[in-house]
Amino acid sequence: MEKFVIVVHLMIVLAMIGFVLLQKSEGGGFAAGSGAGFMSNRGTANVLSRTTAYLAGAFFATSLLLSILAGFHRNPGTILQPTANAPGAPSPSGAPATPLGGQGGGLLDDLQRREQAPAQPSGPQVPRSQ
């Protein structure tokens, strides 16, 4: 269904480009004021203008339909996928690696545990007397 709508949408786009290019320029471009143009009578201009308007409406409708169809296939997920050796990574059997009441394995939980853990001193330690 979606491929068919895309093909129809592209055909409408190409037809609309063609009909816009066939119309007589009435603005202040390079051809401003030239009276001898291709299809310069007013009746043809009305047909071209109406056809362009219909094609613009069809373009809008197919664009809206394509956005609705894209919404049906949306798959929300996370960009932070757990790796195989991460604490919260699911096991191959599909069961979570940590119990529900245990520590989570998410990135924020890991950073919070690192922040709360006491920093390990780097270098030799002086022996403490007891």
Confidence at residue 15, expressed as pLDDT on a 0 to 100 scale: 96
Position 56 confidence tier, pLDDT thresholds 50, 70, 90:
very high
Please report the pLDDT score of residue 6 as a whole number: 94
Residue 128 has a pLDDT of: 80
Residue 23 has pLDDT above 60, yes or no: yes
Q: Is a pLDDT exceeding 60 seen at residue 106? A: yes
pLDDT reading at 59 higher than 80: yes
User: Domain locations in the chain?
Assistant: 2-24+40-72
pLDDT digits (tens, 9 = 90+) for 62-95: 999 999 998 887 777 666 766 555 555 555 555 5
Alpha-carbon gap, residue 17 to 21, rounded angstroms = 6
pLDDT value of residue 130 = 74
